[in-house]
Structure 1
Amino acid sequence: MPVSVNEKATEVPERLTVGFISLLRSLGLKVPIGSAIVFQQALGKVGIGKRESVYWAGRTTLITDPEDLPVYEYGFQIFWEGATDPLEERMPSYQRVTLVTDDGLDAEEEPSEASKEGTDVINLKYSPSEVLWEKDFGLYTSEELNEAYELMKKMTLLGGIRQSRRKISSKKKSQYPDLRRTIKSALRTDGEPIRQRFFEPGERQRRVVFLLDVSGSMEAYSRALLRFVQAAVVGRRQVEAFTLGTRLTRITRELSSRNLDQAVSASSNAVQDWSGGTQLGETLRSFNMEWGQRGVARGATVVVLSDGWDRGDASMMSEQMHRLKKVSYKIIWVNPLKASPGYEPLAQGMAAALPYVDQFVEGHSLNSLGDLACVLSE
C-alpha cells in the first residue's frame, strides 16, 4: 500500500529507488541504469523527508524528454504520495505473491494472515546470492560488495595460453629434432640411433593487464571492479594492474595482498586521483611510454575497464589505442554503461577507442564479470 514521503523517511533509500524506478518502467518510462544510480545518490544527499526534495531529485536525474514529465508526475503521486492508481479498479485480481528467502532453514513457520483468510498465496523462493549476480554494482551496499568479492575469487581467470621460448621434450614426432637427447640415447646402443628424439615449444599463461578507470564518472562501479582486479592479481600469475584518471598509477603490488581490506586501503593511498577528472588519452600515452615499451603489454591481453568518458583530445585517444593495439595480443573494453537500455558508444573517448577494441563487453554486475572471465579464457 502506498505511503506518504514523510512516512517513508526512515527506510533505506536503495529500496525506494528500486521500487520507484520499477513503477516508472511499468508505466512505459525508459530509465537507464546510469540515471537510476545518479537518482539514488541524489536521494542520499537531499534525504527523503521532504516532498519537494524527492520530486526534484527524480525529475532532474530521470527525465530527459519533456514529454515524459506527465508519466513521471503520475508515477510520483502513486509511489511517494500514496495516491490510488485509478487503473487498479479495472485490473483483474491476482494471486498474492510472497517472496521467501531460500536460506536452507526447514523450521516450521506460522501461517500468514493471507493463508488464514483463505487467500491464494504463491511462495517464490530465491537465493540472495542469485539476486546478487544480477544486481547492478552501482546499487550494492558495503556488505554486498564483500559477499560479491567472495564470488569473484571463485571465477577462473585463465587469460589464454601462449607459446614460450622454452622447449620441452615431446613424445610425438615434431618439426624440432632434439639432437642432444637423440645422441644421448644412441650412446646406450653403441652409437646406433634407435629412436630419434624431438622437442616442442612450451606453453605459459598469457599476461593480463588491467587498466581501471577511477575517474568521477566511474565512481559507482570502480569500487566493485577494483575488487575484481584484486581477485585476479592474487588468483593467478602474470597479472598487472593500473589505474587511469588524470594520471597513471601502477597498483599491482598494492593489490597483491590476500587481505582485501589491506589491498583496497593500500591501493586507495597509492592512487592520488581517485574520483577525479578524466584524461584517458594522456594516461594511455603514459602507459605506452613507461610500460608498453618495457614489454608489459607486448603479447598480453589488455582489459580496459572504463565508461569511455574523456575530457582530452579524441585524436590523442585514437593514436594511443592504435599504439596499444600493435603491441598487445588483444584489447577487451569493459563498459558498465553498455548494459543500459538504448546505450550507444557516443562518449568521445569511447567512440575514438572502439575501432581498436577486439571485444566490447558489459561490466555492471557479477554475471557480466563472469562473462568477462570466459572471454579472457579464449
Structure 2
Amino acid sequence: MTDASTQTGGTFAENIMHFARTLRRAGLPVGPGRVIEAIRAVEVAGIRRRDDFYWTLHSVFVNRRDQWDIFDQAFHVFWRNPELLKKMMDMMLPTTFLDSTKRDDQPELSRRLSEALAPSPAPDSDQESDEEEIEINATLTASDNELLQSKDFESMSAEEMAEAKKAMATMRLPIMEVKTRRQRADFHGGVIDMRRTLRASLRSGGASIPLRFKSNVTRHPPLVVLCDISGSMTQYSRMLLHFMHALTNDRDRVHTFAFGTRLTNITRYMRYRDVDAALDVISEKVEDWSGGTRIGATIKEFNKFWSRRVLGQGAVVLLISDGLDRDAGEGLGIEMERLHKSCRQLIWLNPLLRYQGFEPRSKGVKAILPHVDQFRTVHNLNSLKELADILSQPMGAQPEKRSFAA
C-alpha cells in the first residue's frame, strides 16, 4: 500500500466514506464526524501496511467490544479480502446449495453486515417492483409488531434490533411483593398493636380501650442478575443488558453482574440514564467480553464476596447463561447449591431452550439444572414477557420447571 497523500482525486477519502456508511447500516454509531476523523487519522498514519490501516480505522470507528466482530468482517470484505469475498458470493447462491457445500471451518458473516453490503434494488425495474409487491402481500398475514415479538435476537437485523431495544425500554418486571419484618400502623385490620392501643386508652383516662392494629410492610425483593457475556452468548447478552438497564432505572435494589472467565459488578454503570453511555463504560470495564466461560469459578467468587451483600431479604436471582462451561462443570454443582440456598428464587434463562430437541447433555447444564426453581428460554421479546408474567405470580402458583428424561 502507498502513502495516503499520494491518492489523487479524493478517491481514497470517498472509499472511507462509503466504508463508514456500510458500518452505519450494520448498526455501528458512525456519523459524519467519525468519517472526518478517520480520514485525518489515515493521513497521519499512512497506509503503507494493511495492519496499520486496519487499526487506524478500528481506533476511530470502534468504541465497544461488541462492535469488533462487525468491524472486522466489514473491513476484510469492503477492502477486498479474497476469502470473505468468496463467502459473500456464496451467500447469493440458493440455500440448498449452501447447505450441501458449507464447511464447518467457514466463518459465518453477521446478518447485519450482509444486509449492509447487499445492493439496493433498482427503483426503475418493473420486475423487481412486482416481486417486492408480492413479498409485502405475503407478510400482511401478520403485523410487523407480532413478527418482531417472536423473532430470535440472533436473527434480527440492525433495524429490528433498534425496534426491539425501544420495546425493552418500556418493559417492566412486576415481581410479587413479599412481607418484611418491619410493621406499620394499619387502619384496615391486621394484628393488635398493644403499644398504640395502651397509649390511646390513656388519652381517655382508661374509660375506653380503642384497638389499634398493625401489619407487615410489603416490598419487592431485591433482584440480582448474573449475565453470561461469553462468545456464545454475545448477541443475547447485548440485548438483555438493554432490558436490565430499563429495570435498573425503574426500580431500586437491582444488582447486575457480568461474567465470562471472571466476575464483574456492573451495577453502578447500569444506573446511568443513557443506555448507550452505560454499555460503552461496561464494554471498557469488562475485560473478558466475548471470551470463554468459567461458570463454576465465577459463581464461587460471587458466593464468597457478594452473596451476603446483595442476597438479603429474600432476593430473586436471574442466571442468564447457555450453561456451556470451559471447565466442564468442575465445582459448579456445589456452588449452584449454595447460591440456591441463599436466595428466595433462582431462575435460569437459557436461549438454547428455544429448541424443541434440547437435552441437558453438557456437564455444565447437568450441574446447574437440579438447583434452579425455573428453567426458561430467553431469545425474543415474547420470552421476556412470559418471564414478567411468571415473576408477577406467587411462588406456589408458578408453573413447574421443564423436566427432561434421564
TM-score, normalised with respect to structure 1: 0.69
Give 2:322's aligned residue: 307
Distance verdict in 2 for CA 1:138–1:201, change over 3 Å: same
Q: Which moved more, 1:182-191 or 1:302-311?
A: 182-191
Q: What does 1:162-311 align with in structure 2 at a 5 Å threshold? A: 162-174=178-190, 176-296=191-311, 299-311=314-326
Determine whether 1:354 maps to 2:354.
no
Task: Quote the residue 1:368 is aligned against.
Answer: 383
Runs of 5+ in structure 1 lacking a partner?
A: 1-9, 15-40, 63-95, 101-120
Q: Does 1:338 align with 2:353?
A: yes
* Correspondent of 2:102 among 52, 56, 59: 59
Note if contact 2:316-2:344 (Cα within 8 Å) is conserved in structure 1: yes
* Residues 264, 57 of structure 1: alpha-carbon distance in 2 compared, 3 angstrom cutoff: farther
Hey, what does 1:131 align to over in structure 2? Answer: 147
After TM superposition, give the deviation of residue 98 of structure 1 in Å.
Answer: 3.7
Please give the alpha-carbon distance, in whole angstroms, between the structure 2 residues aligned to 1:146 and 1:236: 24
Instruction: Tell me the distance in 1 between the aligned counterparts of 2:283 and 2:139.
Output: 44
Paired with 2:270 and 2:100, the residues of 1 have a C-alpha distance of 37
Match of 1:323 in 2: 338
Cα distance, 1:232 vs. partner? 1.3
Q: Which has more strand, going by share of residues?
A: 1
- Cα distance in 2 between the residues matched to 1:98 and 1:126: 15
Q: Give the SS at the match of 2:103.
A: helix
Determine helix, strand or coil for the equivalent of 2:192.
Answer: coil
Determine the structure 2 residue equivalent to 1:46. Answer: 84
Q: Distance in 2 between matches of 1:58 and 1:293?
A: 54
What SS class does the counterpart of residue 156 from structure 1 fall into? coil
- The yes-or-no answer on 1:141 pairing with 2:157 is yes
- Cα 1:336–1:253 shift into 2, 3 Å: same
- Measured in 2, the distance between the counterparts of 1:303 and 1:297 equals 15
Superposed, 1:63-78 pairs within 5 Å as: none
The answer (yes or no) to whether the contact 2:176–2:391 under 8 Å persists in 1 is yes
Aligned-pair distance for 1:320? 0.4
Equivalent in the alignment of 1:34: none
Contact 2:311 2:342 (C-alpha < 8 Å) held by counterparts: no
Contact 2:172 2:388 in 1 (8 A): yes
Deviations, residues 172-197 of structure 1 (Å, cap 9, x unaligned) = 443x4312321232233222333211
* CA deviation string 1:84-107 (max 9, x = no partner): xxxxxxxxxxxx99454xxxxxxx
1:127 shift after superposition: 3.1
Q: What residue identity is the alignment partner of 2:314?
A: G
Percent of aligned pairs sharing the same letter: 37
- What secondary structure, in the 3-state scheme, does the structure 2 residue paired with 1:155 have? coil
Separation (CA, whole Å) in 1 of partners of 2:164 and 2:139: 26
* Residues 44-69 of structure 1: per-residue CA shift (max 9 Å, x gap): 8834444499748963359xxxxxxx
Cα distance in 2, alignment partners of residues 50 and 97 from structure 1: 26
CA contact (8 A) 1:242 1:251 kept: yes
CA shift, 1:130, in A, is 2.1
Query: SS state of the match for residue 173, structure 2?
Result: coil
Would you tell me which structure has more helix in proportion to its own residues? Answer: 2
Residue pair 2:176, 2:220 contacting (<8 A) in 1 also = yes
8 Å CA contact 2:221, 2:314 repeated in 1: yes
Letter of the 2:150 partner, please give it. E
What do you get for the CA RMSD once the two structures are aligned? Answer: 3.2
TM-score (norm 2): 0.64
